[in-house]
Amino acid sequence: MVVEQVSTEMLRGFSPLDGLKRDNLAALARKVQIREMSPGQLLFKEGDTEKRTLYVVSGTLELVDQAKVVGTVEGGTEMARNPIAPVYPRRVSARARDRVQFISIDSDLLDVMLTWDQTGTYEVSELASKSDQSNEDWMTMLLQTKAFHKIPPANIQAIFMRMQQINYRAGDVILKQGSEGDYFYVLNRGSALVTRETPLSKEGIKLAALQVGDTFGEEALISEAKRNATVTMQTDGAVMRLGKDDFKKLLNEPMLDWVSKDEADELVRAGAQWLDVRLPSEFENQHLDGALNIPLYFIRLKISTLDTSKQYIVCCDTGRRSSAGAYILSERGYTAYVLRGGINRDPV
């Protein structure tokens, strides 16, 4: 049961959270809640591999090895300052002796924040306008995405420092379908709508609704193609934008994992899924056995239908569109690979 949001003062009582800079700790505090367990309830079992960093706030947690209690962690003690059984897979089970309050933090997120915090000179508030908390929120959201866990800390700092803020009014078009790709965008205030014009719908069909922290514009930069959709502000707001060259060097290259056809076939035999991002007509004419077809411009709309526990090998005819598709999947926490050279290339 969720009890309450934590304070920065409480987080500062735990290690290594006490090493975070003030504003970065405050950003983390807004993402963490105190949870509660009943007596006898298990927090985790021996062998658990879920990457969560856990701390006891109050109550007593028993550490159990093969039905035998081998230790306890009591809230407020020196031992409780440190994460509970931090080694994966967990070597013991953890069971509540009485009513226990605890906090749980995504371990990857914490590692990224600690690394970035300790390798950079700037705090979140120094990179953002202190008068607008939404600036801080979009940065924290980006740091939480699984994709950013692949980005070197120096790159993350450079990305934030090179971004420009652009303000818009409701109804303003940020980018237009058919135009050249020049920037990568993060919405940092307001809301926007992504639409695609078709022969049957000149007003455009809705592809996605964007909120603070959402990103867009990457497809055209990666695939060297024209914009495949229009993004229009629904409210007054602002975006942060990053130039094409900086995006490719700092964000795109570290994020993509390329595989050969042989490597992809091995992954498929192990349970991965081919994901073809070409148009339906291209797919019908030629495709790999067992492939799923979601055209690149529909990825944002259909991404919720994909299985987050499955690995995807994204393919097209050359690798250009598939690299854009894999970026979008990776950005949203999916494990995605790009088929090098595309399906039209003879295996080497």
In the chain, list all ranges with CATH 2.60.120.10.
2-106, 120-252
Instruction: For residues 51-78, give the mean pLDDT.
Output: 93
pLDDT, tens digit (0-9, with 9 covering 90-100), for 273-294: 999 999 888 898 889 999 999 9
Q: Under a CB-based contact definition with an 8 Å cutoff, are residues 331 and 145 in contact?
A: yes
In the chain, list all ranges with CATH 3.40.250.10.
256-339
pLDDT, tens digit (0-9, with 9 covering 90-100), for 127-163: 444 334 455 567 766 776 666 767 776 677 778 788 8
Q: What is the pTM of this model?
A: 0.57
Q: Which residues, other chains included, contact 131 with Cβ-Cβ below 8 Å and sequence gap of 6+?
A: none
CATH superfamily for 256-339 is: Rhodanese-like domain (3.40.250.10)
pLDDT, tens digit (0-9, with 9 covering 90-100), for 93-135: 999 999 999 999 988 777 767 766 655 444 444 444 433 445 5
pLDDT, tens digit (0-9, with 9 covering 90-100), for 75-90: 999 999 999 998 889 9
Is the model's pLDDT at 51 over the cut of 90?
no
Active site residue 316: yes
CATH number of 2-106: 2.60.120.10
Give the fold, CATH level 3, of 120-252: Jelly Rolls (2.60.120)
120 versus 73: the higher-pLDDT residue is 73
Among the options 85, 316, 328, 339, which is catalytic? 316
CA dihedral 199, 205, 211, 214 (to 10 degrees): -50
CA pair distance 281, 343, nearest whole angstrom = 15
